[in-house]
Amino acid sequence: MQVAVLPSQEQIANVGARRFIGILGRNPQAVIGLATGSSPLGIYQALIRAYRAGEVSFRQAQAFCLDEYVGLPADHPEAYQNFIRREFTDQVDFDPQAVHAPAGDSSDPVAAAREYDAQIGAAGPVALQILGIGSDGHIGFNEPGGALTSRTHLGFLTEQTRSDNARFFAGDINQVPVACLTQGLGTIMEAEELLLVATGAGKAQAVRELVEGPVSARWPATVIQAHPRAVILLDEEAASLLSDKDHYRNAWDGFVKYECPDYDWS
């Protein structure tokens, strides 16, 4: 994996956005993987600006969301399919029909998970999957203890995740759903490239495990260590517990220079 420790939120947003712009420039019909949560918001805002400036179009692209709460009414503002439309896809030229999310309001969530996995398989591969990380090391809603090869499935949130996400539900953990539908770790790993964003001291331990810990179901994001094209964008606080930061900086500079000029934001 390539680890970038960047000095500002703005640079994280621009580096991430440039990657999407590069991919869509080469293949306007690309399938992209979207994540909710606060971590990707800067990238979405940078993409909205780029769209308004005529630098990128999503008209022919398709998007698949990572996950969804189970049990929220379809019009609930915190349902992830509404979040992603409000914060990103409705603000650019995405065809609303091309933005997919798991059916968290289905009466049969197990079948809905299977169907969503098949839908991704039929449309994919996902060219670029954006990811955040939970403070307990989850990606999507893959909580500790799940199979590292899991497919899209019905899952259950830890108290830690419900408490972290209570800020979106008026601070009331009891309003945060207990169940979710999430792309599995095996599904996520099939994307051609992963782009994980983590900022703030609250993510430092999960980031240390992700980058320097052993691969383990206790810290689900560690599965990314086995992905051939994974980029981890961090601020200094999220990177604060990493022991090999100097090496990552050198390796990142080399990666940008020789392998991946799309990441050059200057």
- Which residues are tagged catalytic? 67, 136, 138, 143
Whole-angstrom CA distances from 147 to 36, 128, 144, 165 are 22, 22, 9, 23
Residue nearer to ligand GLP on the CB measure, 37 or 184:
37
Q: Which stretch binds ligand GLP (CB under 6 A): 16-24, 32-40, 54-62, 104-112?
A: 32-40
Cα 125 from chain centroid (whole Å): 16
Total site size for ligand GLP, rule CB under 6 A: 14
Report the residue number whose CB is nearest to ligand GLP: 132
- Regarding 136 and contact with ligand GLP (CB under 6 A), the answer is no
Nearest in space to 156 (alpha carbons), one of 146, 169, 166 = 146
| CA-closest candidate to residue 34, choices 83, 106, 91, 93 | 83
Q: If binding is defined by CB under 6 A, does position 155 make contact with ligand GLP?
A: no
Confirm or reject binding of residue 196 to ligand GLP (CB under 6 A).
no
**Phi and psi at residue 175, to the nearest 5°:** -85, -10
| Token code pair at residue 15 | 């580096």
**Contact assessment for residue 188 and residue 131, using Cβ atoms and an 8 Å cutoff:** yes
Phi-psi region of 223 (alpha: psi -120 to 50; beta: other; left: phi over 0): alpha
Contact 242, 248 (CB under 8 A): yes
Judged by CB under 6 A, does residue 39 bind ligand GLP? yes
What pairs with residue 62 in β-bridges? 31
In the bound state with ligand GLP, the residue whose beta carbon lies nearer, of 66 and 223, is: 66
Stretch that binds ligand GLP, among 17-25, 29-37, 46-54, 92-100 (CB under 6 A): 29-37
Q: Which of 13, 19, 32, 37 binds ligand GLP (CB under 6 A)?
A: 37
Residue 132 binds ligand GLP, judged by CB under 6 A:
yes
Position among 140, 155, 177, 184 found at the interface with ligand GLP (CB under 6 A): 140
Q: Does 38 bind ligand GLP (CB under 6 A)?
A: yes
Nearest distance from C-beta of residue 135 to ligand GLP, angstroms: 8
Letter for the amino acid at 152? T
Binding status of residue 134 toward ligand GLP by CB under 6 A: yes
| Residue 203: Cβ-neighbour burial (10 angstroms; 0-12, 13-18, 19+) | buried
Instruction: Check if the beta carbon of residue 21 is closer than 8 Å to that of residue 55.
Output: yes
Residue from 62, 89, 161, 187 binding ligand GLP (CB under 6 A) = 161
CB-wise, 16 or 132, nearer to ligand GLP?
A: 132
| Residues engaged in binding ligand GLP (CB under 6 A) | 35-39, 66-67, 132-134, 140-141, 161, 165
